[in-house]
Structures are given as structure tokens and as C-alpha cells.
Amino acid sequence: MSRALLEVHGISVVFGGLRAVDDVSFEIHDREILGLLGPNGAGKTTCFNAISGVYPPTLGDILLDGARTNGAPPHGMARLGVGRTFQIVRPFSGLSVRENVIVALGGPRYRGNLLRSLTSWRKKGIADEAGAILDRVGLLDVADRTSGQLPIGSLRRVEIARALALSPRLLLLDESFSGLRSTEIAQIEELIRSIREDGVSVLLIEHNMKVAMGLSDRVVVLDHGRKLAEGKPSEVASNQAVIEAYLGRGERGNVA
């Protein structure tokens, strides 16, 4: 197997008396798609937040390419090559789709007032770079539309485009299929596979089990903050502890 790009070693995240993540460990390798699964409240998004620098783990270590990143802020993690989307899409609704990507491209150049800085970023080279990313995700035809006018399927792509603007080595996708039609789901699946082929590792949270199991090379399942299972989708789908976590005790079958 290829080397580990991301290593999560025994992390716990505690909020007061709540242990949202409890001694969780896993690795993501180069060009791997890893699914982070579990019922609601399992600790998946908290894991994402710890990896992306929203808050540091209370215990344990996170290593990116062998270097410890505990305590690095989100913008620091972005500069290290970690891109992220969010379950609830929040584009700059008054800006065009292209300008949303330009903002992400201009992050390292940002100084002071955002909109004033944006004016200087609208140079042809940066606009062309944003256009190339939008073409990559299938949004070039709506590049100059106001993002607030787009349907949810297109907004999911805007989120991915903004994350790709960071030139990530690791892409964290939080419910990127939520609210999509079957044709849109198939298109995003194809996009994610192509992103992996470009050399980007992907960690995804997804409640659609058919999508998650079909897309992931391996999956990690959390329940009540602890790691319940890890392995290939076919192995995890028949794990009785996983079935009980999703369906309740006494149920038999396959979660996929």
C-alpha cells in the first residue's frame, strides 16, 4: 500500500463533559478515497473539524505527510494542502460563481477589505485559472451567474471548486451528495474519482450508504465518538456491530 498522507493517532475531542470523539485512529494513503461513516451524532464532522484545524484535538495527534499539525488554524491547514467542503453550502451569494472561486484562489493574496482586494484579483490570469477549475467541475457555462441563484446540485460543485482552488493534496468532502438527484449523484461520483486520479486523496462523510460504499476504497465507521469498524466496504457492510449501529440490535442484513 502507498504511504500514509494523513495519520490520525488516538484523537479525542472533548467539549465540557461531552467526549465527541474518543480515541479514534486511522490513516489515509496517497490517491485513496476513505469513507468516514456512522449514524447521526457519531462524531464524523467533529473529526473533520479537528483535521481541518477548526479546533485542535484534546488528546492525540494528527500528522500530515509526517508532520504534526495539532493547533494549526484552518487557513494554515489550507496552505498545507487540506481543502474542505461543508454540509451546508455557504457561497458568497452576491458574487458570481467565478468570483467565488477567485476568492479561494486569492486567499494567500488577501489583505484588508475583501471586496476591495477582489477587484485586484479580477486580472485575466486569475480569472482564467478560476475558469479552468469551473470547467473541471462542470460549471463553466454558469461561471458568470450569481451564485445565490443556483440550485443545490450546482452549489455542491461550487463548494468542490472552491476547495480545488487551494490545490489540495487532501480533500475533505462533507455530505457532498446531500439533496441531489440520481443523475447529479452519478456526475459527482465521476468527478470525485477523477480528482483522485489527479493525485488527490479524499476523505468523505456521506449518509447515502450506496454511494459511500461504492465510491470508497476503504471505510471507517464511528459510533458515539469511537471507531466501530474499519476495512473494505464489503467487509464493513456485513459487520454485525455496524449493522446494529445503523439498524438497531436484533436486525440482520447488510447496511449497503
Whether the pLDDT of residue 256 is over 50: the answer is yes
Pairing of strands 218-223, 226-231: antiparallel
pLDDT tens per residue across span 31-86: 999 999 998 889 999 999 999 999 999 999 999 999 999 989 999 999 999 999 99
pLDDT tens per residue across span 112-139: 555 555 555 556 688 899 999 999 999 9
pLDDT tens per residue across span 154-206: 999 999 999 999 999 999 999 999 999 999 999 999 999 999 999 999 999 99
Cβ atoms within 10 A of the Cβ of 81, count?
17
Out of 19-28, 105-114, 124-133, 143-152, least confident range? 105-114
User: Which pLDDT band, with edges at 50, 70 and 90, does 250 fall under?
Assistant: very low
Q: What is the mean pLDDT of the chain?
A: 89
Whether the pLDDT of residue 219 is over 80: the answer is yes
- pLDDT confidence of residue 247: 56
- pLDDT confidence of residue 139: 97
Give the three cell numbers for residue 185.
Answer: 449523484
Domains and CATH numbers, the chain: 4-90+171-247 (3.40.50.300), 92-149 (no CATH)
Give the three cell numbers for residue 145.
Answer: 451567474
Round to whole Å and give the CA distance between 176 and 156: 6
**Helix, strand or coil for residue 19?**
strand
